[in-house]
Amino acid sequence: MSLAHALLTALTEHQPATGFELARRFDRPMGYYRHATHQQIYQELGQLERRGWVSTHRDPEDFRCKYYRILPAGHEELLRWVHTPTEPAPLRESLMVKLRADSLLGPFALQDEIQQRIGQHRQRLEQYRLIEQRFFAQTPPATHQQRMQQLILHTGMAYEQHSLEIFAQLLEALQQAQDPPAPSDRAE
Amino acid sequence: MSLAHALLTALTEHQPATGFELARRFDRPMGYYRHATHQQIYQELGQLERRGWVSTHRDPEDFRCKYYRILPAGHEELLRWVHTPTEPAPLRESLMVKLRADSLLGPFALQDEIQQRIGQHRQRLEQYRLIEQRFFAQTPPATHQQRMQQLILHTGMAYEQHSLEIFAQLLEALQQAQDPPAPSDRAE
DNA sequence: CAACCCATGTAAAAAGTTACATGATTAA
DNA sequence: TTAATCATGTAACTTTTTACATGGGTTG
Protein backbone atom coordinates (compact mmCIF):
# COMPACT_ATOMS: atom_id res chain seq x y z
CA MET A 1 0.00 0.00 0.00
CA SER A 2 2.40 2.58 -1.22
CA LEU A 3 -0.15 5.29 -2.02
CA ALA A 4 -0.57 5.75 1.72
CA HIS A 5 3.10 6.61 2.06
CA ALA A 6 3.10 8.86 -0.96
CA LEU A 7 0.19 10.73 0.61
CA LEU A 8 1.99 11.00 3.94
CA THR A 9 4.99 12.39 2.08
CA ALA A 10 2.83 14.90 0.25
CA LEU A 11 1.22 15.95 3.52
CA THR A 12 4.63 16.34 5.12
CA GLU A 13 5.51 18.63 2.26
CA HIS A 14 2.50 20.84 2.72
CA GLN A 15 0.16 20.68 5.67
CA PRO A 16 -2.76 20.87 6.15
CA ALA A 17 -4.16 19.94 2.76
CA THR A 18 -7.55 19.00 1.37
CA GLY A 19 -8.18 15.89 -0.71
CA PHE A 20 -8.67 18.12 -3.68
CA GLU A 21 -5.31 19.83 -3.27
CA LEU A 22 -3.61 16.47 -2.91
CA ALA A 23 -5.38 15.16 -5.99
CA ARG A 24 -4.06 18.11 -7.95
CA ARG A 25 -0.54 17.45 -6.78
CA PHE A 26 -0.81 13.75 -7.58
CA ASP A 27 -1.82 14.71 -11.04
CA ARG A 28 1.46 16.48 -11.64
CA PRO A 29 4.66 16.80 -9.68
CA MET A 30 4.16 13.89 -7.30
CA GLY A 31 2.17 12.07 -9.93
CA TYR A 32 5.24 11.86 -12.13
CA TYR A 33 6.46 9.16 -9.78
CA ARG A 34 3.23 7.93 -8.22
CA HIS A 35 0.00 8.59 -10.02
CA ALA A 36 -3.42 8.51 -8.36
CA THR A 37 -6.93 9.72 -9.17
CA HIS A 38 -8.99 11.85 -6.82
CA GLN A 39 -11.33 8.94 -6.12
CA GLN A 40 -8.42 6.84 -4.97
CA ILE A 41 -7.08 9.66 -2.86
CA TYR A 42 -10.35 10.27 -1.02
CA GLN A 43 -10.63 6.57 -0.29
CA GLU A 44 -7.08 6.31 0.89
CA LEU A 45 -7.32 9.42 3.07
CA GLY A 46 -10.29 7.74 4.74
CA GLN A 47 -8.13 4.73 5.50
CA LEU A 48 -5.30 6.88 6.80
CA GLU A 49 -7.76 8.49 9.18
CA ARG A 50 -9.15 5.15 10.34
CA ARG A 51 -5.61 3.99 11.05
CA GLY A 52 -4.90 7.06 13.10
CA TRP A 53 -2.20 8.32 10.78
CA VAL A 54 -3.92 11.60 9.91
CA SER A 55 -6.49 13.85 11.53
CA THR A 56 -9.17 15.88 9.79
CA HIS A 57 -11.07 19.02 10.49
CA ARG A 58 -13.58 21.01 8.53
CA ASP A 59 -12.92 24.60 7.71
CA PRO A 60 -15.48 26.57 9.75
CA GLU A 61 -15.53 29.26 7.05
CA ASP A 62 -15.95 26.91 4.12
CA PHE A 63 -17.73 23.72 5.03
CA ARG A 64 -16.87 22.13 1.73
CA CYS A 65 -13.20 21.83 2.61
CA LYS A 66 -11.88 19.05 4.79
CA TYR A 67 -8.31 19.50 5.94
CA TYR A 68 -5.92 16.64 6.63
CA ARG A 69 -2.93 16.74 8.94
CA ILE A 70 -0.38 14.09 9.82
CA LEU A 71 -0.48 12.62 13.32
CA PRO A 72 2.65 11.42 15.12
CA ALA A 73 1.73 7.81 14.30
CA GLY A 74 1.63 8.75 10.61
CA HIS A 75 4.99 10.41 10.83
CA GLU A 76 6.47 7.30 12.44
CA GLU A 77 4.90 5.07 9.82
CA LEU A 78 6.41 7.19 7.05
CA LEU A 79 9.86 6.96 8.63
CA ARG A 80 9.47 3.22 9.07
CA TRP A 81 8.51 2.83 5.40
CA VAL A 82 11.35 5.00 4.13
CA HIS A 83 13.85 2.80 5.93
CA THR A 84 12.33 -0.43 4.61
CA PRO A 85 13.62 -1.44 1.18
CA THR A 86 10.76 -1.84 -1.29
CA GLU A 87 10.74 -3.98 -4.39
CA PRO A 88 10.87 -2.06 -7.64
CA ALA A 89 7.55 -2.00 -9.46
CA PRO A 90 7.59 -4.57 -12.26
CA LEU A 91 7.95 -3.15 -15.74
CA ARG A 92 4.88 -3.02 -17.92
CA GLU A 93 5.83 -1.86 -21.36
CA SER A 94 3.20 -2.71 -23.94
CA LEU A 95 5.46 -1.50 -26.73
CA MET A 96 7.86 -4.32 -25.99
CA VAL A 97 5.04 -6.82 -26.28
CA LYS A 98 4.08 -5.23 -29.57
CA LEU A 99 7.65 -5.57 -30.78
CA ARG A 100 7.47 -9.26 -29.95
CA ALA A 101 4.25 -9.55 -31.88
CA ASP A 102 5.93 -7.70 -34.74
CA SER A 103 8.80 -10.20 -34.74
CA LEU A 104 6.28 -13.01 -35.22
CA LEU A 105 3.58 -11.51 -37.41
CA GLY A 106 5.05 -8.24 -38.65
CA PRO A 107 6.50 -6.05 -39.86
CA PHE A 108 3.94 -3.60 -38.56
CA ALA A 109 4.11 0.17 -38.58
CA LEU A 110 5.01 0.80 -34.95
CA GLN A 111 6.90 3.97 -35.75
CA ASP A 112 3.95 6.23 -35.02
CA GLU A 113 3.50 4.88 -31.54
CA ILE A 114 7.21 5.21 -30.84
CA GLN A 115 7.11 8.77 -32.10
CA GLN A 116 4.29 9.42 -29.65
CA ARG A 117 6.41 8.16 -26.80
CA ILE A 118 9.30 10.31 -27.91
CA GLY A 119 7.01 13.31 -27.92
CA GLN A 120 5.76 12.55 -24.43
CA HIS A 121 9.23 12.20 -22.99
CA ARG A 122 10.40 15.34 -24.75
CA GLN A 123 7.51 17.25 -23.26
CA ARG A 124 8.11 15.99 -19.76
CA LEU A 125 11.79 16.86 -20.08
CA GLU A 126 10.83 20.37 -21.14
CA GLN A 127 8.60 20.72 -18.08
CA TYR A 128 11.46 19.66 -15.83
CA ARG A 129 13.72 22.22 -17.49
CA LEU A 130 11.23 24.98 -16.83
CA ILE A 131 10.92 23.93 -13.18
CA GLU A 132 14.67 23.98 -12.79
CA GLN A 133 14.91 27.43 -14.31
CA ARG A 134 12.20 28.74 -12.05
CA PHE A 135 13.60 27.31 -8.85
CA PHE A 136 17.33 26.96 -9.26
CA ALA A 137 18.47 29.36 -11.98
CA GLN A 138 19.17 32.37 -9.78
CA THR A 139 19.91 30.81 -6.43
CA PRO A 140 21.93 27.61 -6.28
CA PRO A 141 20.53 25.19 -3.69
CA ALA A 142 21.73 25.92 -0.18
CA THR A 143 19.77 23.72 2.23
CA HIS A 144 19.54 19.95 2.33
CA GLN A 145 15.95 20.25 1.15
CA GLN A 146 16.86 22.32 -1.87
CA ARG A 147 19.81 20.13 -2.79
CA MET A 148 17.59 17.07 -2.62
CA GLN A 149 14.86 18.71 -4.65
CA GLN A 150 17.34 19.52 -7.35
CA LEU A 151 18.70 15.98 -7.22
CA ILE A 152 15.21 14.56 -7.68
CA LEU A 153 14.67 16.90 -10.58
CA HIS A 154 17.97 15.90 -12.18
CA THR A 155 17.14 12.24 -11.74
CA GLY A 156 13.81 12.77 -13.42
CA MET A 157 15.50 14.62 -16.23
CA ALA A 158 18.04 11.84 -16.66
CA TYR A 159 15.22 9.32 -16.84
CA GLU A 160 13.42 11.27 -19.55
CA GLN A 161 16.63 11.88 -21.45
CA HIS A 162 17.49 8.18 -21.41
CA SER A 163 13.99 7.14 -22.40
CA LEU A 164 14.20 9.56 -25.27
CA GLU A 165 17.46 7.98 -26.42
CA ILE A 166 16.12 4.45 -26.15
CA PHE A 167 13.06 5.20 -28.24
CA ALA A 168 15.05 7.22 -30.75
CA GLN A 169 17.45 4.31 -31.22
CA LEU A 170 14.56 1.91 -31.52
CA LEU A 171 12.92 4.08 -34.13
CA GLU A 172 16.11 4.32 -36.15
CA ALA A 173 16.68 0.58 -36.00
CA LEU A 174 13.11 -0.10 -37.12
CA GLN A 175 13.41 2.33 -39.98
CA GLN A 176 16.63 0.68 -41.14
CA ALA A 177 15.16 -2.79 -40.83
CA GLN A 178 12.18 -1.86 -42.96
CA ASP A 179 14.03 0.08 -45.63
CA PRO A 180 16.85 -2.39 -46.22
CA PRO A 181 19.33 -0.33 -48.28
CA ALA A 182 19.73 -2.51 -51.36
CA PRO A 183 20.64 -5.86 -49.77
CA SER A 184 22.30 -7.05 -52.98
CA ASP A 185 25.78 -5.85 -52.09
CA ARG A 186 26.58 -7.28 -48.67
CA ALA A 187 30.37 -6.88 -48.82
CA GLU A 188 30.23 -3.29 -47.61
CA MET B 1 -6.77 -5.55 -20.53
CA SER B 2 -3.28 -5.91 -21.83
CA LEU B 3 -2.47 -9.26 -20.22
CA ALA B 4 -4.83 -10.84 -22.74
CA HIS B 5 -2.73 -9.49 -25.59
CA ALA B 6 0.52 -10.45 -23.98
CA LEU B 7 -0.85 -13.99 -23.66
CA LEU B 8 -1.96 -14.02 -27.28
CA THR B 9 1.54 -12.89 -28.26
CA ALA B 10 3.13 -15.61 -26.15
CA LEU B 11 0.83 -18.20 -27.69
CA THR B 12 1.68 -16.95 -31.16
CA GLU B 13 5.31 -17.46 -30.25
CA HIS B 14 4.81 -21.05 -29.15
CA GLN B 15 1.65 -23.04 -29.69
CA PRO B 16 0.00 -24.99 -28.16
CA ALA B 17 0.98 -24.20 -24.60
CA THR B 18 -0.34 -25.04 -21.14
CA GLY B 19 -1.10 -22.45 -18.50
CA PHE B 20 1.88 -23.68 -16.58
CA GLU B 21 4.25 -23.20 -19.48
CA LEU B 22 2.91 -19.71 -20.04
CA ALA B 23 3.27 -18.90 -16.36
CA ARG B 24 6.91 -19.94 -16.53
CA ARG B 25 7.49 -17.70 -19.51
CA PHE B 26 5.71 -14.78 -17.86
CA ASP B 27 8.00 -15.23 -14.95
CA ARG B 28 11.04 -14.57 -17.09
CA PRO B 29 11.54 -13.52 -20.68
CA MET B 30 8.06 -12.15 -21.36
CA GLY B 31 7.76 -11.22 -17.72
CA TYR B 32 10.58 -8.72 -18.11
CA TYR B 33 8.10 -6.51 -19.94
CA ARG B 34 4.79 -7.78 -18.65
CA HIS B 35 4.76 -9.72 -15.43
CA ALA B 36 1.91 -12.02 -14.35
CA THR B 37 1.41 -14.75 -11.78
CA HIS B 38 0.08 -18.20 -12.60
CA GLN B 39 -3.21 -17.43 -10.87
CA GLN B 40 -3.75 -14.44 -13.10
CA ILE B 41 -2.80 -16.43 -16.17
CA TYR B 42 -5.26 -19.25 -15.50
CA GLN B 43 -8.02 -16.73 -14.95
CA GLU B 44 -7.17 -14.77 -18.05
CA LEU B 45 -6.91 -17.91 -20.20
CA GLY B 46 -10.42 -18.75 -19.06
CA GLN B 47 -11.60 -15.36 -20.28
CA LEU B 48 -9.79 -15.74 -23.59
CA GLU B 49 -11.61 -19.02 -24.06
CA ARG B 50 -15.00 -17.53 -23.19
CA ARG B 51 -14.39 -14.78 -25.71
CA GLY B 52 -13.58 -17.29 -28.39
CA TRP B 53 -10.01 -16.11 -28.80
CA VAL B 54 -8.39 -19.41 -27.86
CA SER B 55 -9.38 -23.06 -27.88
CA THR B 56 -8.40 -25.73 -25.37
CA HIS B 57 -7.97 -29.44 -25.41
CA ARG B 58 -6.79 -31.93 -22.84
CA ASP B 59 -3.81 -34.12 -23.55
CA PRO B 60 -5.27 -37.66 -23.82
CA GLU B 61 -1.99 -39.07 -22.48
CA ASP B 62 -1.69 -36.73 -19.52
CA PHE B 63 -5.01 -35.48 -18.27
CA ARG B 64 -3.38 -32.90 -16.04
CA CYS B 65 -2.30 -30.82 -19.02
CA LYS B 66 -4.65 -28.45 -20.79
CA TYR B 67 -3.38 -27.04 -24.05
CA TYR B 68 -4.30 -23.64 -25.41
CA ARG B 69 -4.28 -22.61 -29.05
CA ILE B 70 -5.14 -19.29 -30.72
CA LEU B 71 -8.30 -19.12 -32.79
CA PRO B 72 -8.62 -16.86 -35.84
CA ALA B 73 -10.63 -14.37 -33.77
CA GLY B 74 -7.77 -14.19 -31.27
CA HIS B 75 -5.28 -13.62 -34.04
CA GLU B 76 -7.39 -10.79 -35.40
CA GLU B 77 -7.75 -9.26 -31.96
CA LEU B 78 -4.00 -9.33 -31.48
CA LEU B 79 -3.45 -7.58 -34.78
CA ARG B 80 -6.10 -5.01 -33.93
CA TRP B 81 -4.41 -4.30 -30.59
CA VAL B 82 -0.95 -4.02 -32.06
CA HIS B 83 -2.14 -1.34 -34.43
CA THR B 84 -3.91 0.63 -31.69
CA PRO B 85 -1.63 3.04 -29.82
CA THR B 86 -1.68 2.33 -26.08
CA GLU B 87 -0.92 4.78 -23.30
CA PRO B 88 2.37 4.19 -21.52
CA ALA B 89 1.95 2.69 -18.07
CA PRO B 90 2.33 5.42 -15.44
CA LEU B 91 5.59 5.39 -13.56
CA ARG B 92 5.59 4.10 -10.03
CA GLU B 93 8.97 4.60 -8.45
CA SER B 94 8.87 4.35 -4.69
CA LEU B 95 12.50 5.41 -4.48
CA MET B 96 11.56 8.81 -5.86
CA VAL B 97 8.92 9.20 -3.18
CA LYS B 98 11.51 8.24 -0.60
CA LEU B 99 13.86 10.87 -1.96
CA ARG B 100 11.11 13.42 -1.50
CA ALA B 101 10.62 12.26 2.06
CA ASP B 102 14.37 12.51 2.52
CA SER B 103 14.35 16.09 1.32
CA LEU B 104 11.81 16.94 4.02
CA LEU B 105 12.77 14.75 6.95
CA GLY B 106 16.17 13.36 6.06
CA PRO B 107 18.93 12.84 5.40
CA PHE B 108 18.23 9.11 5.51
CA ALA B 109 20.51 6.28 4.48
CA LEU B 110 18.95 5.42 1.13
CA GLN B 111 22.25 4.25 -0.33
CA ASP B 112 21.60 0.60 0.50
CA GLU B 113 18.34 0.52 -1.38
CA ILE B 114 19.91 2.24 -4.36
CA GLN B 115 22.74 -0.27 -4.29
CA GLN B 116 20.12 -3.01 -4.38
CA ARG B 117 18.57 -1.51 -7.49
CA ILE B 118 21.98 -1.24 -9.11
CA GLY B 119 22.59 -4.90 -8.35
CA GLN B 120 19.26 -5.91 -9.85
CA HIS B 121 19.84 -3.98 -13.05
CA ARG B 122 23.37 -5.30 -13.34
CA GLN B 123 22.08 -8.86 -13.01
CA ARG B 124 19.36 -8.37 -15.59
CA LEU B 125 21.89 -6.87 -17.98
CA GLU B 126 24.15 -9.87 -17.47
CA GLN B 127 21.25 -12.21 -18.29
CA TYR B 128 20.58 -10.30 -21.49
CA ARG B 129 24.25 -10.55 -22.43
CA LEU B 130 24.18 -14.32 -21.97
CA ILE B 131 21.07 -14.59 -24.10
CA GLU B 132 22.67 -12.56 -26.84
CA GLN B 133 25.78 -14.71 -26.79
CA ARG B 134 23.74 -17.88 -26.97
CA PHE B 135 21.52 -16.75 -29.82
CA PHE B 136 23.40 -14.23 -31.87
CA ALA B 137 27.12 -14.73 -31.26
CA GLN B 138 27.79 -17.21 -34.05
CA THR B 139 25.09 -16.43 -36.55
CA PRO B 140 24.11 -12.83 -37.16
CA PRO B 141 20.35 -12.41 -37.49
CA ALA B 142 19.09 -13.19 -40.98
CA THR B 143 15.28 -13.23 -40.88
CA HIS B 144 12.93 -10.45 -39.83
CA GLN B 145 12.10 -12.45 -36.73
CA GLN B 146 15.71 -12.75 -35.67
CA ARG B 147 16.49 -9.13 -36.38
CA MET B 148 13.50 -8.07 -34.30
CA GLN B 149 14.43 -10.42 -31.48
CA GLN B 150 17.87 -8.91 -31.36
CA LEU B 151 16.42 -5.42 -31.47
CA ILE B 152 14.17 -6.24 -28.50
CA LEU B 153 17.17 -7.61 -26.66
CA HIS B 154 19.24 -4.53 -27.40
CA THR B 155 16.43 -2.28 -26.26
CA GLY B 156 16.19 -4.20 -23.02
CA MET B 157 19.94 -3.94 -22.56
CA ALA B 158 19.86 -0.21 -23.22
CA TYR B 159 17.12 0.17 -20.63
CA GLU B 160 19.13 -1.71 -18.01
CA GLN B 161 22.29 0.16 -18.89
CA HIS B 162 20.56 3.52 -18.55
CA SER B 163 18.87 2.55 -15.29
CA LEU B 164 22.25 1.51 -13.99
CA GLU B 165 23.69 4.90 -14.88
CA ILE B 166 20.81 6.81 -13.31
CA PHE B 167 21.10 4.98 -10.02
CA ALA B 168 24.89 5.19 -10.02
CA GLN B 169 24.69 8.95 -10.51
CA LEU B 170 22.07 9.22 -7.81
CA LEU B 171 24.24 7.25 -5.42
CA GLU B 172 27.24 9.41 -6.11
CA ALA B 173 25.28 12.62 -5.64
CA LEU B 174 23.84 11.36 -2.36
CA GLN B 175 27.28 10.38 -1.11
CA GLN B 176 28.65 13.80 -1.97
CA ALA B 177 25.72 15.57 -0.36
CA GLN B 178 26.18 13.67 2.86
CA ASP B 179 29.97 13.94 3.08
CA PRO B 180 30.24 17.64 2.30
CA PRO B 181 33.95 18.14 1.59
CA ALA B 182 34.84 20.88 4.10
CA PRO B 183 32.21 23.53 3.33
CA SER B 184 34.37 26.22 4.96
CA ASP B 185 36.02 27.37 1.73
CA ARG B 186 33.22 28.23 -0.63
CA ALA B 187 35.20 30.46 -2.99
CA GLU B 188 36.28 27.51 -5.15
C1' DC C 1 8.16 -42.14 2.28
C1' DA C 2 9.37 -37.42 2.35
C1' DA C 3 10.39 -33.61 -0.30
C1' DC C 4 10.07 -31.45 -4.42
C1' DC C 5 8.50 -30.26 -9.00
C1' DC C 6 4.54 -30.39 -12.31
C1' DA C 7 0.00 -28.70 -13.11
C1' DT C 8 -4.51 -26.62 -12.31
C1' DG C 9 -7.32 -24.19 -10.05
C1' DT C 10 -10.66 -21.30 -6.26
C1' DA C 11 -11.45 -17.53 -2.96
C1' DA C 12 -10.85 -13.45 -0.77
C1' DA C 13 -8.90 -9.13 -0.38
C1' DA C 14 -6.60 -5.07 -2.01
C1' DA C 15 -5.73 -1.73 -5.45
C1' DG C 16 -7.03 0.81 -9.38
C1' DT C 17 -10.30 2.55 -13.04
C1' DT C 18 -14.54 4.35 -14.78
C1' DA C 19 -18.88 6.21 -14.24
C1' DC C 20 -22.00 8.73 -11.72
C1' DA C 21 -23.81 12.20 -8.26
C1' DT C 22 -24.06 16.41 -5.77
C1' DG C 23 -23.72 21.09 -4.43
C1' DA C 24 -21.22 25.59 -3.74
C1' DT C 25 -18.79 29.40 -5.80
C1' DT C 26 -17.11 32.26 -9.47
C1' DA C 27 -16.65 34.35 -14.03
C1' DA C 28 -18.68 35.46 -18.56
C1' DT D 1 -28.16 32.40 -16.06
C1' DT D 2 -25.07 29.45 -17.94
C1' DA D 3 -20.69 27.37 -17.79
C1' DA D 4 -16.59 26.37 -15.45
C1' DT D 5 -14.10 25.39 -11.44
C1' DC D 6 -13.88 23.87 -6.61
C1' DA D 7 -14.76 20.14 -3.61
C1' DT D 8 -16.26 15.67 -1.85
C1' DG D 9 -17.83 11.61 -2.34
C1' DT D 10 -20.33 6.56 -3.79
C1' DA D 11 -20.84 2.51 -6.73
C1' DA D 12 -19.64 -0.77 -9.91
C1' DC D 13 -16.27 -2.99 -12.15
C1' DT D 14 -11.66 -4.69 -13.46
C1' DT D 15 -7.17 -5.97 -12.31
C1' DT D 16 -3.73 -7.63 -9.22
C1' DT D 17 -2.10 -9.87 -5.11
C1' DT D 18 -2.15 -13.23 -1.51
C1' DA D 19 -3.58 -17.25 0.43
C1' DC D 20 -5.31 -21.66 0.12
C1' DA D 21 -6.32 -26.35 -1.99
C1' DT D 22 -5.48 -30.48 -4.57
C1' DG D 23 -3.28 -34.29 -6.64
C1' DG D 24 0.06 -36.84 -9.80
C1' DG D 25 4.84 -37.87 -10.69
C1' DT D 26 9.84 -38.08 -9.57
C1' DT D 27 13.90 -38.47 -6.90
C1' DG D 28 16.78 -39.16 -2.83
Q: What is the pLDDT of residue A141?
A: 86
**How far is C-alpha A121 from the geometric centre of its chain's CA atoms?**
12
Q: What is the pLDDT of residue A187?
A: 46
- The string of pLDDT tens digits covering residues B8-58 is 999 999 999 999 999 999 988 888 999 999 999 999 999 999 999 999 998
What is the three-class DSSP state of A80? helix
- The string of pLDDT tens digits covering residues A124-174 is 999 999 999 988 888 888 899 999 999 999 999 999 999 999 999 999 999
Backbone angles phi, psi at B36, to 5 degrees: -160, 145
Which residues in chain A are closer than 8 Å to B91, comparing Cβ atoms? 32-35
Residues B71-95: what's their mean pLDDT? 95
Calpha distance B45→B7 (Å, rounded): 8
The sheet carrying B17-18 orders its strands as B17-18, B66-70, B54-58
Calpha distance A31→A34 (Å, rounded): 5
Which residues in chain B are closer than 8 Å to A178, comparing Cβ atoms? none
Mutation choice for B interface testing from A22, A148, A169 by most B CBs within 10 A: A148
- The string of pLDDT tens digits covering residues A4-42 is 999 999 999 999 999 999 999 998 878 899 999 999 999
Whether pLDDT at A94 is above 60 = yes
Q: What is the pLDDT of residue A92?
A: 93
The sheet carrying A54-58 orders its strands as A17-18, A66-70, A54-58
Q: What is the pLDDT of residue A182?
A: 54
Best CA proximity match to B96, nearest among A86, A137, A70, A20: A86
Q: What is the pLDDT of residue B43?
A: 96
Best CA proximity match to B98, nearest among B89, B86, B88, B107: B107
Q: What is the pLDDT of residue A46?
A: 95
B129 touches chain A (CB under 8 A): no
Best CA proximity match to B124, nearest among A165, A90, A152, A104: A90
| CB-CB contact of A166 with B161 (8 Å) | no
B15–chain A nearest CA distance, Å: 12
Instruction: Kindly tell me the number of DSSP H helices and DSSP E strands found in chain A.
Output: 7, 3
Best CA proximity match to A72, nearest among A51, A47, A86: A51
**Which nucleotide comes closest to B40 if you measure CA to C1'?**
D16
- The string of pLDDT tens digits covering residues B91-148 is 999 999 999 999 999 799 999 999 999 999 999 999 999 999 988 888 888 899 999 9
Name the band, by pLDDT with cuts 50, 70 and 90, for residue B186.
very low
Best CA proximity match to B18, nearest among B74, B69, B94: B69
Q: What is the pLDDT of residue A188?
A: 43
Cβ neighbors of B142 (< 8 A, separation 6 or more) are none
Q: What is the pLDDT of residue A162?
A: 97
Q: What is the pLDDT of residue B181?
A: 56
Q: What is the pLDDT of residue B11?
A: 96
- The string of pLDDT tens digits covering residues A43-83 is 999 999 999 999 999 887 888 899 999 999 999 999 999 99
Whether pLDDT at A181 is above 90 = no
Best CA proximity match to A176, nearest among A111, A106, A112, A103: A111
